[in-house]
Amino acid sequence: MVAILGAYTVVLVLGAGWLLRAWWSERRLALLHAERIRARGQDEAPATLHPVIDPAICIGSGSCVDACPEQHALVLVRGRAHLADAGGCVGHGACKDACPVGAITLVFGSARRGVDIPELDHEFQTNVPGLYIAGELGGMGLVSNAVRQGVKVVDAIAAALAASKREPGPGVASLLVVGAGPAGIGATLAARAKGIDVRTIEQAPDIGGAVRSYTRQKVVMTQPVHLPLYGTVRLHRTNKQALIELWMDVLQRAGLTIEHGVRFEGALLEDGVFVARTSKGEMRAHALLLAAGRRGSPRRLGVPGDDLPHVLAQLDDPEDHRGLSCVVAGGGDSAVEAALELAEVPATKVSLVHRGADFDRARPANRARLAAAEAAGALTVLRRAVVTRVHADAVEIGCESGEPARTPADRVFALLGADAPLGLLQACGVQVRTHYGDAAASGDIGT
């Protein structure tokens, strides 16, 4: 009997020791990762939604670290949670919900990096009565949260329409939704489920919103989310194409129609009715929801020749450029992912041009993939370099090391980000404020 108990004790001690060693090893790797991030100067908080941890309240339970879907974005440092990899944070918000003592606040922007966000009340209404904003344009870029926000805003719109007792009439819809991205689709489904006469327009030829501008295999993080008229969608990680196919299935099964190729140009409120100016003429509605995203106008290279037809602002299908010489300009995730996907296409020559010394705006996983591809000779990476001129079949690239060099280029991808459509908001009379680390209300993230 004693021998059996002794054997059990040995097994328990060894098991506990193994678990403790594994736990310590994982924490040690997280700390080393945090130190590398700090050494590269990449620990600056992102301008988008991210957590701020109060060290005076944090008890170091690690629940936020476990809840974070991005590996090592949050780590424990000396018994306190710490946002180690700002670039790896996707604004998921799960860390805040997981914290048992309320030590985490979700904020927009930081003390050094402001972000322009429209002023919204707790029902996502702007200072213009009847004009609402949901999704990326309001600072909420994560797919699942944007969908939830789009669904939730319709509750407020439905209540306002019921209180006003306004009915749709000839040429006047109850609700006009601008944008067929995650927030716009969620809002359209919710409106139809509530019997609201809704009209949805999208300037792109297809659905997907900002998701469609991602590279073909870009991984999109999403949580389980309920879609009215469709059901609960449970996704953890999926690529862009699969997500777009999901949206198409949702719209088909729900019997919804999106008016594509319609560009929204502004709106005015006249006698309680919004008169929206679009590329297809005026549209009228009692309520207006802007769910068009923040990408606005893609930034251009700003050099001679940047208006040539082979200069593109996004990469759809890398296979379309098989066997060509491609130059990608940019230093963020979109540029890195586009260059990597192009480099995977046989017989395609790829050069990635970045004005910085490091790709500190790209996620750690993308930086690791880029380093491996560069070491393998799959593509050429030019750092501290810029495109100075675009020709019909080449580009001139200026480097700190010498005179501009001429590089063959059948395609040039200017993936430099985009300017938020602040002018469009101002044209609608919407007030915009720059946030420097301001706390987000619980309603802002669709919870």
pLDDT at 198 over 90: yes
Q: What is the mean pLDDT of residues 159-188?
A: 90
pLDDT at 241: 75
Q: pTM score, two decimals?
A: 0.70
Domain 299-418 sits in CATH 3.40.718.10? no
pLDDT at 20 over 70: no
**Could you tell me the two tokens for 202?**
């999208």
**Confidence label for 424 from pLDDT (cuts 50, 70 and 90):** confident
Write down the CATH number for the domain with range 116-296+420-445. 3.50.50.60
- Mean pLDDT: which of 24-38, 221-235, 360-374, 417-431 is highest? 360-374
pLDDT at 215 over 80: no
Cβ density class 103-112: b for 16+ within 10 Å, e for less: bbbbbbbbee
pLDDT at 17: 60
pLDDT at 48: 66
Tens-digit pLDDT profile for residues 31-81: 555 555 454 444 455 656 788 899 899 998 889 888 887 667 788 887 888
Domain with CATH 3.30.70.20 in the chain: 2-108
Domain with CATH 3.50.50.60 in the chain: 116-296+420-445, 299-418
- Mean pLDDT: which of 131-135, 205-209, 232-236 is highest? 131-135
**Confidence label for 94 from pLDDT (cuts 50, 70 and 90):** confident
pLDDT at 390 over 80: yes
Q: What is the mean pLDDT of residues 261-269?
A: 90
Share of the chain above pLDDT 90, in %: 39
Write down the CATH number for the domain with range 2-108. 3.30.70.20
**Confidence label for 447 from pLDDT (cuts 50, 70 and 90):** very low
pLDDT at 92: 66
Q: What is the mean pLDDT of the chain?
A: 82
